[in-house]
Structure 1
Amino acid sequence: MIGFLFSGQGSQFKNMGQDLYKNEVAYREVVDRASEALNLDMSQPLVFDDPNNVQTSILTMSFGIFQVLKTKLELTPSIATGLSLGEYSALVSAHCLDFDDGLRLVRDRSKYMGQSEIDHPGKMVAIINGSIDIIKEAISYGSEKGAVYIANYNLVTQIVIGGSIEGIDSAVEFLKNHGIKRIFPLKVNAVSHTPFMQDAAASLKKRIESVEFNTFDFPVISNTTVKPFEISGIKNILVEQLVKPTHFSDDLDYLANFGCDTFVEIGPGNTLMKLAQKSGQKRVFHVDSVETLADLERNLNK
C-alpha cells in the first residue's frame, strides 16, 4: 500500500521543476494552468524561484508531480499527508480543493504569514536528539527572555521550536550547555505553527470562508489533529494549523498503521523521505526531478 508525503517549505531549490517542465507533458500542463490562475509566468525560473512565490510554486510543483505519477505511472496513493503547506498540495491532489482555488488561497496565506513575520519577527530551529523533557526545560528557560514554543514534532528525535529571537537564542544556549549540540536554524521566514501566526490565522479564517471543499479521492491526514480531514471541519483545522504545532511523526505512524509499506515524497527536496526512513520505513522514495522520477519508476517495476 502506498502513502504520499507532500513537501512543505524549506527544501526549495534553484531551478526546481524546470527539467520536469521540459520533459513531462502532465507537469507542464499544471504549471501553465498555474500561470493562468495567478497571472504570472510560472514557467520562468525567476518567477518560480522568487521567495514571494514559494508557497504557490511548491503547490504547483507538487500537484504537477502528482499528475505525472497518476498519468504516466498510473500511481495514486491509498492515503496521504503533507507537512504544513504540503497539506494544501495533498488536498488539491485528493480533489478536495480545486487547484485554481488552492493556488489563490495559498497565495493569500503566504501574504498573511509575511505580514505576521514583519509584525512578529522571530526564528525557528530544529533540535536533533534532544529529549522532550530537556526541550521543555529549555523553553522555560528561554521564555524568560522572550516567547518560545514547540512548532513541529517531526520525529521523537527531531523537534522544532520557534519564537522570539531573544527567547530562541536563550533556549539554544541552554540546550548547548546541557549537551545538545545538533541544533539547526530553519530556512523559513515566518514563525509558523505558533501563536506568532495569530494575526495570519485570523485573516485566513475570513479568507477561507468563501472556499469550497469537496469529497476526497483518498484520505488526507491532518498535521494538527492526526486524523483524516473531514469536510465539515477542514476550514477550522487549516486555520488552527498556523498557530498549533504539527505532528508529522504521528502522521507517519498513522499511515504505517493504515497499512502503508511504501512512501513517496512529492515536492522539492527529500526532507520527508528522510524522516520516514528515520522512523523505520524501508521502502521510501521522493520525486522532485526527472532523475528521481525515473528512479521511482525503476524501483516500482522491480
Structure 2
Amino acid sequence: MAIAFTFPGQGSQSVGMGKDLADAFPEARAVFDEVDAALGEKLSTLMWEGPEEKLTLTANAQPALMAVSMAAIRAMEARGFDMKSKIAYVAGHSLGEYSALCAAGMFSVADTARLLRTRGNAMQAAVPVGEGAMAAIIGLEQDVVQAACEEASSKGVCQIANDNGGGQLVISGSKDAVTEAARIATEKGAKRALMLPVSAPFHSALMSPAADAMRVALGEVDKKPPVVPVIANVTVSPLTDPDAIVNSLVEQVTGQVRWRETIEWFAANDVTTLYEVGTGKVLSGLARRINRDLTPVSITTPQDVETALANLA
C-alpha cells in the first residue's frame, strides 16, 4: 500500500497555470519568484498572462511546468508534509523527471529551472525546424509500430519516442521517415496515425547534440541523492545514485519515455495511489487507461493541496 508522486510533461501547460497556487500560498509564490530570478526574466508573467504561443515554446514550457509542480510541493511541505516518510517513489514524464528529482531534493529549484531552460533550448536547436517530426500512432501494439519504424528507416531516423499506454505510441525522427512510418502503421491497422504539431523530433537519435549539452549542464550543478527513488523513464527502475540518475537523464533526451511500463512497475511494486503534482490531469488519464487497480489523484489547485494534505496526514 504505497504512494507515488508523478509529474507532468510538455503539453500540460496552459495560460494561467499556477496563479491560484501563488495567490493562495506564499510558499508557492516564492517558487515562481525563485524561477524568475534563476532565469533572469518574468516567466511567471508569461505563465499567467500569455500569450499561449510563447508559453508553448519548449524553452518556456519546460521550466514553467516544473515551477507549478514545485509550487504545490512547497505549499504542502510548509504545512507539514514530508516526502521521505509519506511517498515511496517519484517519476515524471520526460521533463517531469526533472520536476520529480527537484521535489525529491536532488536539485534546487533554481538549478532545475536553468537545467530545463538549457534542455529546451538545446532540444530546439538540435534539428533545423521542418526537418524533424513526431506522430501519434493509436491502436497498434508496440512490436507492430517498431516494425513500421524499421521499415521506414531507409528514409531517415525513426523510432518510438513515447509509450504512453492505452494503445498510444509516439514516434519521432526525420520528417520523411516519420511520415512514411505513419503511412505504414495505417496500413497495418492503426486506428489513427496523427502527425503532431511539435517543433522538434524529441526523444530520437536526432537529439544527440541536446544530450551532449545536458551532460555538460548536469555536470555543473550541485546534486544530492533524492530522498526517495526515482523510477527513470529510460530504465523503468528505481534509482537513487546521482551519477546513475544523471546518466539516465542524458540518455532520456534521445531515448524512449517508457511511461506504460512505469505505471505497470508501480502496480507490481505495491503502489496503489498515484498523485499527479502540477498542471493538468494528463498522467491521471493515462494511469486509468493502463491499470485500473491504481487510483490516480491530481494536485493542481489550492483545494487539491488541502485535500492531499488531509489524505496524506
TM normalised by structure 2 equals 0.87
Q: Secondary structure at the match of 1:130?
A: coil
Hey, what does 1:287 align to over in structure 2?
299
Hey, what does 1:55 align to over in structure 2?
62
Hey, what does 1:10 align to over in structure 2?
11
Q: Secondary structure at the match of 1:149?
A: strand
Decide whether aligned partners of structure 1 residues 265 and 188 sit closer, same or farther in structure 2, where only a CA change above 3 A counts: farther
Decide whether aligned partners of structure 1 residues 241 and 120 sit closer, same or farther in structure 2, where only a CA change above 3 A counts: farther
Q: Give 1:58 deviation, angstroms.
A: 1.0
Q: Secondary structure at the match of 2:201?
A: coil
Hey, what does 2:76 align to over in structure 1?
69
Q: 1:104 & 1:39 partners in 2: Cα distance?
A: 10
The one-letter code matched in structure 2 to 1:70 is E
Decide whether aligned partners of structure 1 residues 226 and 133 sit closer, same or farther in structure 2, where only a CA change above 3 A counts: closer
Q: Could you give the per-residue CA deviations for residues 146-177 of structure 1, whole angstroms, max 9, x where no partner exists? A: 32111112226222111122211111112222
Q: Secondary structure at the match of 1:153?
A: strand
Q: Secondary structure at the match of 1:261?
A: strand
Decide whether aligned partners of structure 1 residues 117 and 66 sit closer, same or farther in structure 2, where only a CA change above 3 A counts: farther
Q: Give 1:263 deviation, angstroms.
A: 0.6
Decide whether aligned partners of structure 1 residues 119 and 207 sit closer, same or farther in structure 2, where only a CA change above 3 A counts: farther
- Matched length: 301
Q: Give 1:70 deviation, angstroms.
A: 3.1
Q: Could you give the per-residue CA deviations for residues 226-250 of structure 1, whole angstroms, max 9, x where no partner exists? A: 1222223222221111011121122
| Contact 1:20/1:27, CA 8 A, preserved across alignment | yes
5+ residue gaps in structure 2? none
Q: Secondary structure at the match of 1:117?
A: coil
Q: Which runs of 4+ in 1 moved over 6 A?
A: none
Q: Give 1:205 deviation, angstroms.
A: 1.7
Q: 1:47 & 1:88 partners in 2: Cα distance?
A: 24
Decide whether aligned partners of structure 1 residues 73 and 166 sit closer, same or farther in structure 2, where only a CA change above 3 A counts: farther
| Contact 1:80/1:255, CA 8 A, preserved across alignment | no
1:190 aligns with 2:200: yes
Q: Secondary structure at the match of 2:143?
A: helix
Query: Does 198-207 or 184-193 show the bigger shift?
Result: 184-193
Decide whether aligned partners of structure 1 residues 226 and 269 sit closer, same or farther in structure 2, where only a CA change above 3 A counts: same
| Contact 1:47/1:53, CA 8 A, preserved across alignment | no
Q: Could you give the per-residue CA deviations for residues 7-64 of structure 1, whole angstroms, max 9, x where no partner exists? A: 1111211221122222222211111111222222233124695224111111111111
Query: Does 5-14 or 203-212 show the bigger shift?
Result: 203-212
Decide whether aligned partners of structure 1 residues 251 and 116 sit closer, same or farther in structure 2, where only a CA change above 3 A counts: same
Match of 2:245 among 231, 234, 239: 234
Hey, what does 2:134 align to over in structure 1?
124
Query: Does 275-284 or 288-297 show the bigger shift?
Result: 288-297
Match of 1:137 among 147, 157, 160: 147
5+ residue gaps in structure 1? none
Q: 1:66 & 1:30 partners in 2: Cα distance?
A: 10
Hey, what does 1:220 align to over in structure 2?
230
Q: Give 1:295 deviation, angstroms.
A: 6.2
The one-letter code matched in structure 2 to 1:158 is Q
Match of 1:277 among 258, 277, 288: 288
Decide whether aligned partners of structure 1 residues 186 and 250 sit closer, same or farther in structure 2, where only a CA change above 3 A counts: same
| Contact 2:288/2:296, CA 8 A, preserved across alignment | yes
Q: Secondary structure at the match of 2:163?
A: strand
| Contact 1:9/1:188, CA 8 A, preserved across alignment | no
TM normalised by structure 1 equals 0.90
Q: 1:78 & 1:283 partners in 2: Cα distance?
A: 15
Q: Could you give the per-residue CA deviations for residues 117-166 of structure 1, whole angstroms, max 9, x where no partner exists? A: 32783121222220223212321332233321111122262221111222
Q: Give 1:189 deviation, angstroms.
A: 2.1
The one-letter code matched in structure 2 to 1:118 is P
Q: Give 1:106 deviation, angstroms.
A: 1.3
Q: Secondary structure at the match of 1:125?
A: strand
1:162 aligns with 2:140: no
Q: 2:249 & 2:143 partners in 1: Cα distance?
A: 29
Q: Secondary structure at the match of 2:126?
A: helix
Q: Secondary structure at the match of 2:17?
A: coil
Q: Give 1:265 deviation, angstroms.
A: 0.8
| Contact 1:10/1:188, CA 8 A, preserved across alignment | no
Q: Give 1:186 deviation, angstroms.
A: 3.8
The one-letter code matched in structure 1 to 2:169 is I
